[in-house]
Amino acid sequence: MEGLIPLVNRLQDAFAALGQSCLLDLPQIAVVGGQSAGKSSVLENCVSRDFLPRGSGIVTRRPLVLQLITAKTEYAEFLHCKGRKFTDFDEVRQEIEVETDRITGVNKGISSIPINLRIYSPHVLSLTLIDLPGITKVPVGDQPPDIEQQIRDMIMQFISRENCLILAVTPANTDLANSDALKLAKEVDPQGLRTIGVITKLDLMDEGTDAREILENKLLPLRRGYIGVVNRSQKDIDGKKDIKAALLAERKFFLSHPAYRHMADRMGTPYLQKVLNQQLTNHIRDTLPAFRSKLQSQLLSIEHEVEVYKNFRPEDPTRKTKALLQMVQQFSVDFEKRIEGSGDQVDTLELSGGAKINRIFHERFPFELVKMEFNEKELRREISYAIKNIHGIRQVLLTGLFTPDMAFEAIVKKQIVKLKGPCLKSVDLVMQELINTVKKCTKKLATYPRLCEETERIVAGYIREREEKTKDQVLLLIDIQVSYINTNHEDFIGFANAQQRSSQVNKSAVGNQVIRKGWLTINNIGIMKGGSKEYWFVLTAESLSWYKDDEEKEKKYMLPLDNLKVRDVEKSFMSSKHIFALFNTEQRNVYKDYRFLELACDSQEEVDSWKASLLRAGVYPDKSSTENDENGQADNFSMDPQLERQVETIRNLVDSYMSIINKCIRDLIPKTIMHLMINNVKEFINAELLAHLYSSEDQNTLMEESAEQAQRRDEMLRMYQALKEALAIIGDISTSTVSTPAPPPVDDSWLQQARRSPPPSPSTQRRPTLNNPPTRPLSGRGPAPAIPSPGPQSGAPPVPFRPGPLPPFPSGGEALGGPPQVPSRPTRAPPSVPR
């Protein structure tokens, strides 16, 4: 063990230089037992310091997490008193008492908030020891009625951890079968790999009795057996008897007692420390393979980057020029890949770059055009106004004298001008997406903050320049369409056809093309029949049908779209649904006895989406008929049959010509944006960005490395050295430790049966003290021999073989040749008793 301490310290020092822990999961040692069982005394003996509070009743009322850290000087620090070093351990005891009372009060209250104490010493190995409150049954003072459950939960919080070694402390003058410490240990450690039984107060047993069969692991056996210790009495503590003298007295007790002298080498605090050290050694050895693999993978992951940093010269002008060229070239490649969609790192979480621009061109832009489609009622009123205003004071007597050219052109030009809004909005959306793409690409330039800022500023400025030119071109395209109305276009229906066609004929050309499908709730019908019901709706150019489910096998109804309009319905405070309604403009029932059909969606976005789809099918929103009437006579124009026919004719002409314009605009606007914005920006980045960077700022300023990058480089180089040193140290550790296998399982079913039928109490099984010393001599060194199986009269299960302690490590960290051998026992006289 002495050879392991400096090796582990070297490993910790290697990582401490980086401000990191060595990540070795060193075990904790938790002392569990009943009230006044001697837990704190056992803990003090392990630390070899007298620093814990003493007294009657429950003394440990908060968990004490004791961290032992190897250091050249010896002192203590509390987490709640940072910066203050305690060199007098009497002051440490007083501080523990004061801090306990501060949280729990002075009247025996308890708290699960731990006290964290660090002890630095050259004589300890980094380790965590935990002193826990004793298990009690009856509340005293300010303790709550459920004090037993609270203490139990507190103990379980610590001993449930796999890296916690459990010392189950039981006084020798109580019934071992009812030991709460052993029962708690069994719950979290059923295999017994982490539990060691500790028997205290052997010197306080009744005269003529002993605990020999318990300590020999014959009565109520444990896998790792029991270790007996003798702590200081209250008289010893009051007399200021130090721990060194107490350990000599403990040794004297075991060697002089007839029942224990044959196993004195396996009793006492020194042997307990040796077992704990052995457990620590095994844990470190078991942790090393995984830890080594982790370090090796970390070393491989940073090796390439470290090679670059090793040859890095920050002030070399050649390096700066090369780095600038590489950065600009990489930015250009990344930008083009994001726009063209050929990048090797595909974003699987959201659309970006070229994919978003494609969506703007083919989904968002057409949707914006559909949203601004003219209102039917308003359009017909505008046409009637135009016809009347063209004739002026003259009255049209014959339909044959009707010439629709001027009215048609006035209406069409007004509708074409409305297209400017959606077109300019699409330019804004593409511009914003280009700037977002630039920001994502400049993240790789973060190593050089000024270069990153300048690149983003220059490219974003150029994008905004191209945006203005693109908008000018888009407006020019709209003005071109307004400047000349080409009624000889091959797709234009002409005046003769317009008079013959009706809206129904136009729709039949589309046929039963499905525009939208989805779930909707019929709101008003459901109220009559005991609740709203959800149906699967299918919208075509001619009808709106709904089915029982999305398999579309059972059709409930098909509603023709003729004379239908849509209107908003105010949301009810009792409902979370968003509602819109369909109604017939001729005051007819829409469905059976219902004048309107209320349809509900989960969100306003769904409502807007359905309304846009209904627009495409020719179902327009309803508006108040009184909002624009100045003299109340505007709608009277539609009462004239002759005027009504003229309005219908021009309406069909407008429909035909605007479909031509829309088709043309949908094709030209994306092409214009692509040519004037996107392609120009790509060419600028490839050909001119570098020149703009050189002219904007000094090269040395541009290529100044960020403080974060310089710090990262230094940390990476130090991490590389620490990893290499740690791997070398682990190689030394792995050849300097020898494992001791865990003892085989024992029959410990008595722990589960203790509540139903407890075995014979140890107090009734104690053997009378022998008058004569044992006939078998003791060996002064080496492990104890295997204890023979008890006779039939004892009734105890067979005792498993338990390996003895490890011999001390050879000096110089040399590996041991193999597991310790049991030496032969020469016949000789018993050892003398220390005086």
In tens, the pLDDT along 548-577 reads 888 888 888 888 888 888 888 887 666 778
pLDDT attached to residue 313: 62
Both 484 and 510 in one domain: the answer is no
Contact 661, 654 (CB under 8 A): no
> Do the domain assignments include residue 481?
yes
> Do the domain assignments include residue 667?
yes
Number of domains in the chain: 2
Both 476 and 527 in one domain: the answer is no
Both 516 and 483 in one domain: the answer is no
- In the block, tokens 């009559």 appear at 528
Q: How far is CA 478 from CA 484, 554, 659, in A?
A: 11, 48, 15
Both 666 and 606 in one domain: the answer is no
Q: Which residues contact 239 (CB under 8 A, 6 or more apart)?
A: none
How far apart (Å, rounded) are the C-alpha atoms in residues 39 and 327?
66
pLDDT attached to residue 552: 87
> Do the domain assignments include residue 662?
yes
Both 594 and 689 in one domain: the answer is no
Both 474 and 338 in one domain: the answer is yes
End of a domain among 660, 675, 702? 702
Both 366 and 483 in one domain: the answer is yes
Tell me the Ramachandran region of residue 812: left when phi exceeds 0, alpha when psi lies from -120 to 50, beta otherwise.
Answer: left
Structure tokens at 595: 């004048």
Domain residue limits at 405: 329-488+651-702
Q: Strand order in 115-121's β-sheet?
A: 75-78, 115-121, 64-70, 127-131, 28-33, 164-171, 195-200, 226-228
> Do the domain assignments include residue 246?
no
Domain of 380: which CATH number? 1.20.120.1240
> Do the domain assignments include residue 586?
yes
> Do the domain assignments include residue 795?
no
pLDDT attached to residue 679: 94
Closest CA to 339 of 440, 416, 247: 440
Contact 216, 263 (CB under 8 A): yes
pLDDT attached to residue 736: 52
Both 474 and 509 in one domain: the answer is no
Both 607 and 689 in one domain: the answer is no
SS3 680: helix
pLDDT attached to residue 10: 66
Q: How far is CA 696 from CA 206, 314, 438, 454, 465, in A?
A: 96, 22, 19, 8, 18
Both 472 and 519 in one domain: the answer is no
Both 451 and 521 in one domain: the answer is no
> Do the domain assignments include residue 397?
yes
pLDDT attached to residue 633: 42
> Do the domain assignments include residue 153?
no
Both 479 and 502 in one domain: the answer is no
Where does residue 248 rank: exposed (0-12), middle (13-18), buried (19+ CB within 10 A)?
exposed
Domain of 591: which CATH number? 2.30.29.30
How far apart (Å, rounded) are the C-alpha atoms in residues 148 and 136?
6
Q: Strand order in 514-522's β-sheet?
A: 555-560, 543-547, 533-540, 514-522, 596-601, 578-584, 564-569, 620-621
pTM of the model: 0.46
pLDDT attached to residue 364: 85
How far apart (Å, rounded) are the C-alpha atoms in residues 669 and 619?
27
pLDDT attached to residue 683: 94
End of a domain among 621, 640, 663? 621
User: Which parts of the chain have pLDDT scores under 50?
Assistant: 1-2, 5, 397-401, 502-510, 624-639, 758-827, 829-835
